[in-house]
Amino acid sequence: MAIGLGTFPAAERPLSVDAVASQYIGLILQQVDVLPVLFRCLDATQWHVEELCSLMPVCKQWCGEIKRVVVDWQWLKPLRTYCALFVAEIPLLVDSITSSDWELHSYNTRLGNIEKFYGKMRATMWDVSTQIKALQGMAQILHNVLMHNYGNRALCMIRTVMNMHTHSALIQKESCRAIASMAFNFDNAPSRDAQGGLIPKIVQVLCRFGGDTETANHAVIALYNIMDMHPINRGLVVEAGAVPLVLRFMRLHQDTTFFHTSTSFLLKMGLKGTGGLVEGSSTP
């Protein structure tokens, strides 16, 4: 039975459909502006929010589309509730994924919780405060050896968050913290390439938000760790213009943790004994 948008306005009709119909819905969800249409057609209830989020895996443009949804206060409440429930669940998910008790938290349970964590993080991508908490949780998860096979996916998630919230200093800071944590655990070639692709984003964070000592420190640590595990990325750091920025902010943040972190960064770049570069730099 074909299902089109005309079937959605009836609030009493559930969104749960059979496999054949869901394939058709999957095609619909790839179209621009479909999420605003669905939100306008349905009553604002917590159940409908859960159902819409369950359709997310087949909505290829979810992260971009959810930003285009303009909702009134009736929709805002269940959406905020969904975010709050995820934030409350983050410590439990992190504990299960990183636990040393393999009898209490089986391998399959951990994998299921990783999928759940990523799924809800993607579903709440529009909310800054939720993403900050999710990135903090991700920084803990990425320390775990279980995440080795999920490195590229984690990198893609971080990149998406950074792109969606380019003006949020807190998002950018927590993203750099997660990247710094991640760099120690993923040493395969695809992850190395993916990390290299994030270098320009990190340098951009340093350029835009380097006035904040903590943000600048996390950005430099992320660059340092990426180079430490994958020396081939050193050239990409240079090409991105990181060195002049670090030198500039070292003058601004003297006698801070950032200054000492930057010193280690410059030594890693091979600038030991080249004090003339620091003193004679043309950076402002």
pLDDT grade for 146, boundaries at 50, 70 and 90: low
pLDDT, position 135: 93
Give the DSSP H/E element, type plus range, for residue 16.
none
Q: What is the pTM of this model?
A: 0.74
CA distance linking residue 97 with residue 105, whole number of Å: 8
Residue 101 has a CB neighbour count (10 Å cut-off) of 9
Residue 30 has which token pair?
């790839």
The total number of residues shown for the chain amounts to 284
pLDDT, position 220: 92
pLDDT, position 225: 85
| Summary mean pLDDT of the chain | 75
Return the closest-CA partner of residue 124 out of 176, 178, 160. 160
Torsion sign (Cα): 151, 154, 156, 159? negative
Query: Quick one: the chain helix, strand, coil %, rounded to 5?
Result: 70, 0, 30
- Rounded percentage of the chain residues whose pLDDT exceeds 70: 66
pLDDT (tens digit, 9 = 90+) per residue, 172-215?
999 999 888 877 665 555 555 566 678 899 999 999 998 888 99
Residue 129 has pLDDT above 70, yes or no: yes
Q: Which domains does the chain have, with CATH numbers?
A: 72-271 (1.25.10.10)
Question: What's 283's DSSP letter?
Answer: -
Tokens 């369950």 sit at which residue?
54
